[in-house]
Amino acid sequence: MDEFSASAYPARVALGRKPLGVIGSAMTARRNVLELIPEIATRQPMVSGKTGKRWHMVMDPAALRIVLKDKVDDYPKSLVTRLILEPAIGQSLFVAEGAHWRWQRRAAAPAFAQRNVEALAPVMTAAAEASVRRLAAATGPVDLFAETVAATFEVISDVTFSGDEGFDRQAVHQAIEAYISGTARLSVMDILGLPGWIPRPGRLTAGRDLRRMKRVADDAIGARARSGPREVPDLLDLLRAGSDPETHRVMSAAELRDNLLTFIVAGHETTALTLAWALYLLAFDPEVQNRAAIEARTVLGARAATAADVPHLIYVRQIVEETLRLYPPAAFLSRTSRIYDSLGGREVHPGDTIMLPVYALHRHHLLWDDPDRFDPDRFAPGIVRDRYAFLPFGAGPRICIGASFSLQEAVIILATLLARLRFDLTARHPEPRMILTLRPHGGVWLAVKTR
C-alpha cells in the first residue's frame, strides 16, 4: 500500500521528482501550483534553479525572517502576484508596496482591533447555527466545502455591509468564483518572466464579472455614505472612519471598495477552506473528532459558540492550527528580490524570484516530526517553535490583518458543528490543488449525522 494512503496519512500533494522545463512547469502550474515544488524541498532549507528566470525556494526559517521581516521592502510581491490580483483588488493592502501600503495598513488597523473583532462575533454565531440547521436536514453525503463557503460568505458579507439589502451577495460571489477559476492561474508568460504589459490571454475575459463586482460594492458604499453608520459599526463603517495617524489620510471611495473586496475575497475563502479541510481531517481521525466534540459539548452545552467561548475551546483551536499547517490556504507565495543578497547560503540577484512554498515549509522534515501526520497536539499550550516555521498568515509587518478574525470565526463555527454533528468519510476523497488558494478538488464529501 502507498506510504500516503488513506489508512496512514490524510490527502497530500504528490510533489515533483524530476525537472519540468518551461512548458512542463506552465502546464503543471495551471493544474496545481504545488506540484511545482520538488519533493526535496521538504528536506532541504533552500532549492534554486532557472526556468526562464532565476528562482529560489526558501524553507529556512532564518532566511524567511529576512524576506518577510528584516528586509521586507527589498522583497516586494512578485510580478505574477500583481498580475493576478490587481485587476480584482487594485492597489489595496494585499498588493500595495512601500509608503502606499503603510498608510493603508495604519488606517485599517483599528478596524481589526480585538474589541472590534469580538463585536462582530454574533454574526459568526448566527452563521454557525444556520449551518447546523442545513447540515442536520441533509439526507445523504454533503459537500462540506460548499457548505463552509456558504457559511463564511454569509459572515463576511454581513460584517462588511451589515446585510444591506442593496448589496447583491450572489453577484459578488459569482464574480469571485469566476475570477479564481478562470483567471487566477499561472501562464507560460509568467513562467518565462515576460513583462506585465504583455497581455495574458486567460485574464482578458474576466472584465465583465469584475466590473459587475466593483459596481455592486460601489453602490453599497455610496448608499452607506448617504444613510450614515450603523448603530453597531460594521467593517465598512470602521474603514470609513479610519485614517492614517501619521498623515491623516483617509481612504477614497475607490480605495474603500478595493480593500473591502480584498477582505471579502480573503475573509471568506481562507476560513471556508480551513473549516472544510478541518472537517475532512476530523472525519479521517474519529478519535480526534470525539475528543473535540467532548470539549465543544462541555463548553457549549446545547448552544452555539460565541466569542467568549473561544479561549476555552483549546483543543478545537489546536485542530484549526494543525489544519492550517497541513492545508494552508495561502500555500505558495512569491516575492521578487530588489537587491544582491544571501539567503540560506545561496546568492540572490536583483530580479530573482523568491518562492515561499508554505506547503513545503509546513511539511518539512527538519522542522516537524512525521510532518504528513495529522496531530493537533503539535499546537498544545506550552509548545515552542520557530516563529518562521509556521506561516499560515505570513509574518512580519505584512502579516494578514484579518488573522484574528479568521481564527475566531473558524473556532466558533467548528465548535458549534462538532457539538451537534458527527462527520464520517465517504468513498470520495478530496485532492489538494492550488490555483489561488489550496482547495479540495472534487469537494469534501462527508456523511453527516446528528449526535
> What CATH number is attached to the domain comprising 160?
1.10.630.10
Q: Helix, strand, or coil here: 216? A: helix
| Contact between residue 351 and residue 50 where contact means Cβ atoms under 8 Å apart | no
Domain count, the chain: 1
Report if residue 9 sits inside a domain: no
Catalytic residue among 81, 152, 400, 423: 400
> Do 235 and 112 meet the contact criterion of CB atoms below 8 Å apart?
no
Binding residues: 400
Provide the CB-side half-sphere exposure for 413 (13 A, CA).
35
Using an 8 Å Cβ cutoff, are 418 and 390 in contact? no
Return the residue matching grid coordinates 518551461.
22
pLDDT (tens digit per residue) in 82-133: 777 777 778 888 888 999 999 999 999 999 999 999 999 999 999 999 999 9
User: Does the active-site annotation cover 4?
Assistant: no
Catalytic residue among 28, 125, 152, 270: 270
Query: Is the residue at 438 inside a domain?
Result: yes
* Distance (Å, whole) CA 14 – CA 28: 12
In a domain, 15, yes or no: no
Within a domain: 16 = no
Binding residues for heme: 400
The answer to which of 92-96, 307-311, 347-351 has the lowest mean pLDDT is: 92-96
1 in a structural domain:
no
pLDDT by residue (tens digit) across 411-430?
Answer: 999 999 999 999 999 999 99
Axis-axis angle for helices 403-420, 286-300 (nearest 10)? 90
What b/e readout covers 412-445, taking b as 16+ CB neighbours within 10 angstroms? bbbbbbbbbbbbebeeeebebbbbbbbbbeebbb
* Among candidate residues 38, 30, 10, the one with its CA nearest the CA of residue 360: 38
Catalytic residue among 263, 393, 405, 423: 393
DSSP conformational letter for 75: S
Q: What is the mean pLDDT of the chain?
A: 87
Tell me what pLDDT residue 195 has.
Answer: 54
Percent of the chain scoring above 70 in pLDDT: 87
Confidence of residue 365 (pLDDT cuts 50, 70, 90): very high
Q: Does any domain span residue 309?
A: yes
What is the residue range of 244's domain?
Answer: 21-450
Residue 156 lies in a domain: yes
* Residue 53 lies inside a defined structural domain of this protein: yes
Give the integer Cα–Cα distance in Å for 450 and 133: 10
Q: In what order do the strands lie in the sheet with 333-336?
A: 46-51, 53-58, 353-356, 333-336
Flag the least confident range among 121-130, 195-204, 342-351, 364-373.
Answer: 195-204
Going from the C-alpha of 2 to that of each of 7, 226, 279, 327, 429, the distances in angstroms are 9, 62, 23, 20, 15
Q: What is the chain's length? A: 451
Q: Between residues 387 and 139, which one has the greater pLDDT?
A: 387
DSSP strands (E only) in 73-165: 142-143
Dist CA 378 CA 383 (whole Å): 7
157/268 Cα distance (integer angstroms):
9
Tens digit of each residue's pLDDT (9 = 90 or more) over 136-158: 999 889 999 999 999 999 898 88
Residue 200 has pLDDT above 80, yes or no: no
For residue 1, what pLDDT band results from cuts at 50, 70 and 90?
A: very low
For residue 400, indicate whether it is catalytic: yes
- The pLDDT of residue 87 is 73
270 given a catalytic annotation: yes
